[in-house]
Amino acid sequence: MPQTEHLILRELLAREGGWVSGAALARRLGLSRVGVWQRMERLRAAGFTLEARRARGYRLVRAPERLHPALVETLLRGRPRAFSLVILDEVDSTNDEVLRQLAAGRPTPFAVLARRQTQGRGRFGRSWHSASPANLYASFGFRPRIPPGRMPLFTLWMGVNLCELLANFVPEAPRLKWPNDLVYGSHKAGGMLTEARIDADQIRDLVFGVGLNVNAPSETWPTDLARRVISLSQVAGSRLDLNRLAAALIGRVLLAYAAFVEDRHREGFAERWHRYDLLRGRPVALLEGGRRHHGTVVGVDEEGALLLRDASARLHRFRAGEVTVEREP
């Protein structure tokens, strides 16, 4: 969308449904009043509902509910100049698209969002149900050039940041189920999938993918999944503004990424993880490499590994695995 339309959109959004004078807009943007009117028509064609009155000007009645590139761009404040955004109607997997774009040399950082994924992926090659444009499917491309050993903490760090961000949109933030689930009790509200390509002992390409169940109520999911998921709108009791959430997510992920790469994430991480940790103090089973381990979760260490205390009080450390919470004895 051309720059003038972005500026008009910014003015309209800043008034939060209030009137913006056409004459004032024309002056500020160096356009004729007809020029302003033409841009408003283009915004209408792009899905914005606008009201126009002779004496008052224009006001934004409704922004599109679906993901809208220009709206997300306009809502993104203070983004790094180099950042670029792609919003697709449909893609196999936003993580795969980011991998392809990284391989093709696209400058980083960038994000790919899609309204639907046909082959959305989760951990362990599981599929991530991605049929609803009311939810968010987003992946970010980075080239961090840091040692691979630092990566396990990355997803946990991003998880803490996502919980803090979501606390601004829903009355209760989700909890983190190590290492990558955003949950409300036993219901999943989102998940993260971090993938990396390593080159000479450094991370060359890094993809951070997030799926968030935003506005599609769990009843609309296939029956086998419906009882295991929850949408943020169900937690909030009303629809969330998908475009505002997408813009806030992008802003937060970029900031969190910069802090991680510059090694500014360590201080305070343990307390922040603890605040959202679903598992601490709970008996769990951890499946790792075909073996099942039982114990009580003590927390995570500074490298992001899960610490379990077994029945004989021995401490075990796991870098990977799948956790299920067991019933309290």
Calpha distance 36→13 (Å, rounded): 16
Q: Pick between residue 105 and residue 125 the one whose CB is nearest to ligand BTN.
A: 125
Q: Which of residues 221-280 bind ligand BTN (CB under 6 A)?
A: none
Q: Tell which phi-psi region holds residue 75, choosing left (phi > 0), alpha (psi between -120 and 50) or beta.
A: alpha
Calpha distance 180→190 (Å, rounded): 9
Q: Tell which phi-psi region holds residue 108, choosing left (phi > 0), alpha (psi between -120 and 50) or beta.
A: beta
**Per-residue 3-state assignment (H helix, E strand, C coil) for 226-242:** HCCECCHHHHHCCCCCH
Report if residue 128 touches ligand BTN, rule: CB under 6 A.
yes
Sign, CA dihedral 33-38-40-41, equals positive
> Residue 93: which of 130, 54, 147 has the closest Cα?
130
Q: Pick between residue 93 and residue 132 the one whose CB is nearest to ligand BTN.
A: 93
Q: According to CB under 6 A, which one of 209, 295, 304, 321 is a site residue for ligand BTN?
A: 209
Residue 182 beta carbon to ligand BTN: minimum distance, rounded to whole angstroms: 8
Among the residue ranges 71-79, 123-131, 156-164, 272-280, the one whose residues contact ligand BTN (CB under 6 A): 123-131
Residue 272 beta carbon to ligand BTN: minimum distance, rounded to whole angstroms: 20
Paired with 32 in beta bridges are: none
Report if residue 131 touches ligand BTN, rule: CB under 6 A.
no
Q: According to CB under 6 A, which one of 123, 143, 187, 282 is a site residue for ligand BTN?
A: 123
Dihedral, 257, 262, 266, 272 alpha carbons, nearest 10 = -30
Site map (CB under 6 A) of ligand BTN, residues 160-199, x = contact: --------------------xx---------xxx------
Report if residue 108 touches ligand BTN, rule: CB under 6 A.
no
Q: Which of residues 88-107 bind ligand BTN (CB under 6 A)?
A: 93-95
Calculate the alpha carbon distances from 134 to 64, 111, 116, 130 in Å: 12, 18, 9, 10
The encoded tokens of residue 127 equal 């599929």
Cα 184 to chain centroid, rounded: 17
Report if residue 57 touches ligand BTN, rule: CB under 6 A.
no
Sign, CA dihedral 141-144-149-155, equals negative
Calculate the alpha carbon distances from 87 to 91, 138, 187, 213 in Å: 10, 9, 28, 18
Report if residue 287 touches ligand BTN, rule: CB under 6 A.
no
Residue 195 beta carbon to ligand BTN: minimum distance, rounded to whole angstroms: 9
Report if residue 133 touches ligand BTN, rule: CB under 6 A.
no
Report if residue 211 touches ligand BTN, rule: CB under 6 A.
yes
Report if residue 22 touches ligand BTN, rule: CB under 6 A.
no
Q: According to CB under 6 A, which one of 48, 110, 137, 140 is a site residue for ligand BTN?
A: 137
Among the residue ranges 122-130, 151-159, 160-168, 299-307, the one whose residues contact ligand BTN (CB under 6 A): 122-130
Residues that bind ligand BTN (CB under 6 A): 93-95, 117, 120-123, 126, 128, 137-139, 180-181, 191-193, 209-211
